[in-house]
Amino acid sequence: MAELKADVLVLGAGMVGVSAALHLQQRGRDVILVDRRELAGEETSFGNAGMIESASVFPYMFPRDFGQILQYAINGSPQVRYQFVDLPSFLPWLVRYYLASSPERALRSAMAELPLIRRSLIEHEALIAEAEVPELLRRTGWIKLFRSDATLANAVRDFERAKQYGVAGELLDGDAIAMREPNLTGEFAGGIHFPAPGFVPDPGGLAKAYAALFKRKGGRFLVGDARTLEQTTGGWRVGGSEGTVVGREIVVALGPWSDLVFGPLGYSIPLGVKRGYHLHLAPRGNAVLNHPVLDSDLGYLLAPMNRGIRLTTGVEFARRDRPPTYIQIEQALPRAQALFPLGDAVDAKPWMGARPCLPDMLPVIGKAPRHAGLWFDFGHQHHGLTLGPATGRLLAEMMTGEAPFADPTPFAVERFG
């Protein structure tokens, strides 16, 4: 079989890997993108809620409010669910997540990520223009609804804080909600419309469009299994369906599967997962949903995707590879049906994915300390669609010796000792 050579092999063709490949290519590197799937964007980057979350300056940290913790602990919250049988496997991670969520450390994470969040939409706009897919970016922003005065008041307080970092938004009363979304039904304490974030009505399609751009510019995409990775003299080798693939440098962008590579290489990195589900439903009659709408207190989101209205759930703590449980979808469905006129399901069964998360809710980006030519780019948590292109730029700048646009120190793997 042939041996294919490149400067850099990027393992994983989700939003994160494809974006890194494009940024490396822009800087003159010959890149081969390797994925076990035949197409890009078929996993986590396919199933998300489609929001380019440029308004999300505070990452999703563990709650510090005792009442909320209690609700989480007894599986009484619609936003979070635990698979208790897996508790021994994720409890140590959860403790680290809790510790990393103190107000001081949470603010540190937010400030570290802020330059990336601010860059997120700009980087997507550039790639979307080059890929010639303007229809994949909608400028509606998104709406967060609240059912109780207490949760609305908390959200308004958070919003006031976010405003200090340039986040724009408009408080909505019942009439303003009805103006923006005439087909919603329910009793709301209020809402917030964040107008700036982008909405992608086909996130998997966007990853594919970026991969097509990469190929059009001379990049190669090959099917291969990252688990076959071996270090050679002066580089790295992976087994691919068209032969062995060899690169001087390698980027691990395998999202929730990144441990399959860093584990055998001897790195102990606390990568956990927060699983989530989606199901597409047809709108009934002529009903239209104009924005993604988060029914915050009831713990689900509706997004107007090209395929139908995508109902996405909150977080499920369970082992990555445990078979899906559809409890959160089953709980959310009647609530969503009461909010918006939903008809039949478009999908035969719900989709499940896993948000790749480090306890401090920051990705790992940068050089691996003990192996020449090994780079990490994973752990983009709730914001991998948002941050893929911005972190791709940051990584490519680091790999090519350019001045990085943001301080990469908080993302270094060395923070885990």
* Residues at the site binding ligand FAD, with contacts judged by CB under 6 A: 11-17, 34-37, 42-45, 47-51, 53, 225-227, 253-257, 260, 276, 278, 312, 353, 355-356, 378, 380-386
Q: Any alpha helices (H) in 132-263, and if so which ranges?
A: 149-163, 174-180, 203-216, 259-262
**In angstroms, what is the minimal distance from the CB of 30 to ligand FAD?**
20
CA distances from residue 327 to 100, 256, 308, 315, 316 in whole angstroms, order as listed: 29, 22, 21, 12, 10
Cβ closer to ligand FAD: 13 or 127?
Answer: 13
Q: Which of 100-103's residues contact partners 24+ apart within 8 Å by CB, and which partners?
A: 100/61, 100/62, 100/359, 100/360, 100/361, 101/61, 101/62, 101/63, 101/64, 102/64, 103/64
Phi, psi of 46 (to 5 degrees): -85, -40
Q: Which residues pair with 172 in a beta bridge?
A: 191
Cβ closer to ligand FAD: 101 or 258?
Answer: 258
d(CA 339, CA 171): 19
**In angstroms, what is the minimal distance from the CB of 103 to ligand FAD?**
24
Contacts of 404 (CB under 8 A, 6+ apart): 394, 397, 398
**In angstroms, what is the minimal distance from the CB of 363 to ligand FAD?**
8
**In angstroms, what is the minimal distance from the CB of 354 to ligand FAD?**
6
Cβ closer to ligand FAD: 138 or 284?
Answer: 138
Per DSSP, the three-state class of 50 is coil
**In angstroms, what is the minimal distance from the CB of 56 to ligand FAD?**
8
Cβ closer to ligand FAD: 304 or 384?
Answer: 384
**In angstroms, what is the minimal distance from the CB of 67 to ligand FAD?**
25
**In angstroms, what is the minimal distance from the CB of 260 to ligand FAD?**
5
Task: Please identify which residue in the block is written with the tokens 């490949």.
Answer: 21
**In angstroms, what is the minimal distance from the CB of 17 to ligand FAD?**
5
**In angstroms, what is the minimal distance from the CB of 149 to ligand FAD?**
27
Other C-beta atoms lying within 10 Å of the C-beta of residue 319? 15
Cβ closer to ligand FAD: 284 or 307?
Answer: 307
**In angstroms, what is the minimal distance from the CB of 150 to ligand FAD?**
25
Note the maximum CA span of the chain. Answer: 67
CA terminus-to-terminus distance, the chain: 41
- 8 Å CB contact between 143 and 180: yes
Cβ closer to ligand FAD: 66 or 207?
Answer: 207
Other C-beta atoms lying within 10 Å of the C-beta of residue 334? 10
d(CA 33, CA 210): 12
The one-letter amino acid code at 293 reads: V
Taken as a whole, the chain contains a residue count of 417
Cβ closer to ligand FAD: 27 or 227?
Answer: 227
Cβ closer to ligand FAD: 79 or 286?
Answer: 79
Cβ closer to ligand FAD: 48 or 101?
Answer: 48
Cβ closer to ligand FAD: 191 or 255?
Answer: 255
**In angstroms, what is the minimal distance from the CB of 214 to ligand FAD?**
14
Burial bucket for residue 183 (CB in 10 Å: 0-12, 13-18, 19+): middle
Cβ closer to ligand FAD: 83 or 148?
Answer: 83
Task: Please identify which residue in the block is written with the tokens 């997004």.
Answer: 303
Element of type H or E holding 337: helix 327-339
CA nearest neighbour of 138 among 202, 192, 183, 193 = 202
